[in-house]
Amino acid sequence: MATFDAVRALGHRHVLAEGPVWIATKSRLLWIDVERGEVFVGRLDGGLVIETHRFDFEGKVGAVVDGDDGSLLVAVNDRLVVIDPDGMRRDGPRILEGTALRANDGGVDPAGRFLIGTYHYDERPGKDTLQRLEYDGSLTLLDDDLSISNGLAWSPDGTLFYSTDTANQTIWVRDYDPMSGGYGARRRHLTIESGYPDGLTIDSRGYLWIAIWAGFEVRSFAPEGTPADTVSVPVPDVSSVAFVGDDLDRLLITTSSRDLDAAGRERYPDAGALFLANVGVTGQPTTPWNSAAL
């Protein structure tokens, strides 16, 4: 096992940076600030992330992914919004009911379907969901008993689906068939006993890399669940991760400053920044969302 250090890559301090997505075909990075309702587009320049565009929304943003037609799909508050390649926006379906919750982390399966979780503002246990947007625009409910639905990832061959249940400190896994959309019963894959699992990604070997909220680090685990390497991050609340770069050989890490008081922000001046780490392995290209669904 090895320990790597993360280096600050963006000077901008976010409230809650989340949801990084690397678009390999365009060498482009997407990420969000949940609390400020901001969607960012950027690029890498050596060891720095350079912001190239920003989209602002009213309320909270839970996730952003790229579409196969050059569009962006954004989960905003309780609904989906499509940003067309020309920058025009159009409303998609409402995906949640009620004002006590919002869309949270999301991702795209190996066949182009978008999945999205929820977050209740009062963090009520066992009330969050995980849904999937089908090709015809309908929604399929996978889970309805989560406690902050968070990061999603698929094994390199697409046959295993991992999902984060943050407050329960659990990573679930289930069998998955990308072609048909069929999936099996979930089973417990990992229990994170120190800190809380948040966003995650998977490398080309099938190792999970998990951002640890209240943990100052990213931890990796072999496919059988045994601990592997760690990445030390100089802030407490580490929110998500993605492999980036033309060779998918660098780990980009998002963090939060949201829950720090004035003294905490002074103690951790890098909280809310983006970080990069070289961890000696490569990730997998992400699949674009199938835009025919909306």
Catalytic residue ranges: 198
What is the full DSSP assignment across the chain?
--EEE-EEEE-PPPSBEEEEEEEGGGTEEEEEETTTTEEEEEEEETTEEEEEEEEE-SS-EEEEEEBTTS-EEEEETTEEEEE-TTS-EEEEEE---SSSEEEEEEEE-TTS-EEEEEEETT--TT-EEEEEE-TTS-EEEEEEEESSEEEEEE-TTS-EEEEEETTTTEEEEEEB-TTT--B---EEEEE--SSEEEEEEEBTTS-EEEEEETTTEEEEE-TTS-EEEEEE-SSS-EEEEEEESTTS-EEEEEEB-TT--HHHHHH-TTTT-EEEE--S--B-PPPPB-GGG-
